[in-house]
Amino acid sequence: MIELIPAIDVIDGKCVRLSQGNYDSKKVYNESPLEVAKAFEAHGMRRLHVVDLDGAASQHVVNYRTLEQIATHTSLTIDFGGGIKTAKDIDIAFNSGAQMVTLGSVAVKNPELFDAWLNTYGNEKIILGSDVKENRIAISGWKEESPLELMPFLDQYIKKGITKVLCTDISRDGMLRGAAFPLYKEIMGTYPELYLIASGGISCLDDILQLDDAGIPAVVFGKAIYEGRISLNDLTRYIIS
């Protein structure tokens, strides 16, 4: 069964969602990300994807206190991303309770540092963030488009030992229009051993089940829960024991 990973995106210490990465589209769903995380845990979730959107748009981690609160008051396995640009940032993330970090911008702008972190922390703790806009990797909170195309980018880091990739189709993120099934099938067809985490566009339970049928190992979802399109009660039967 596909691994279910709910997401909490954080701005100003609040649980929010954007549409297609547009910060002007911000909608606050809860003043307390910890309250949201506890609800996920209460319904049997074991993983959590936390994104520091303030950090993603800046040059350093910002909302680490929120991460610390969730890590301290839940038993969720947390992967954390957004704003991790320096050794200080990655230390803050792990010291604040993240078990894994998702790195995108640094993999594009500072591959030597990414390689060093991969060697230091190992591929169990480092997730390659691959956020895609029209087949090109976008970085810095999706405000900047790189010249790198998705498949060569993945190939480069998989050859270096990356085994976990979080891939978001930016055009679908927060739009509730369904996942990018052809994209994820292409990636899995090329790299069948990859632990691919699909992200973006999940609108209903059927989207998750279709990803599972396609052999996608994991899925990140958020807005569909917050908008009531998916019930946490409906997901409990699909949680990996």
Residues 22 and 64 sit within 8 Å (Cβ to Cβ): no
pLDDT in tens, 170-196: 888 777 888 999 999 999 999 999 999
Average pLDDT of the segment spanning 156-175: 91
Distance (Å, whole) CA 74 – CA 34: 8
DSSP 61: -
Token pair in block for residue 10 = 């954080």
Please give the share of the chain, as a percent, with pLDDT higher than 90. Answer: 80
pLDDT at site 241: 61
Q: Which CA distances in Å does 29 have to 26, 40, 99, 191?
A: 10, 14, 25, 36
Q: What is the mean pLDDT of residues 50-67?
A: 94
Give dist(CA 111, CA 117) in Å, integer: 10
CB under 8 Å to 52, separation ≥6 — which residues?
Answer: 10, 61, 62, 63, 64, 66, 67, 80, 81, 82, 83
Of 15-29, 60-74, 186-200, the least confident: 15-29
pLDDT value of position 187: 97
Q: Which active-site residues does the annotation give?
A: 9, 131
Type of residue at 225: I
Q: Running DSSP on this structure, what letter comes out for residue 204?
A: S
H or E stretch covering 96: none
Structural element, H or E, at residue 91: helix 87-95
The predicted model gives 81-97 an average pLDDT of 97
pLDDT of 83 reads 93
Range 80-101 average pLDDT? 97
Question: Cβ distance 169 to 134 under 8 Å?
Answer: no
> 10 Å Cβ neighbour count for 38?
15
What mean pLDDT is predicted for residues 135-153? 82
- The number of beta carbons lying within 10 Å of the beta carbon of residue 181 is 17
What per-residue confidence (pLDDT) applies to 140?
Answer: 66
Give the mean pLDDT of the chain. Answer: 93
- Residues in contact with 142: Cβ distance below 8 Å, sequence separation at least 6, in sequence order: 20, 21, 56, 131, 133, 170
Task: Say how far apart CA 80 and CA 152 lie, in whole Å.
Answer: 25
Instruction: Tell me the chain's radius of gyration from C-alpha atoms.
Output: 16
- Global pTM? 0.94
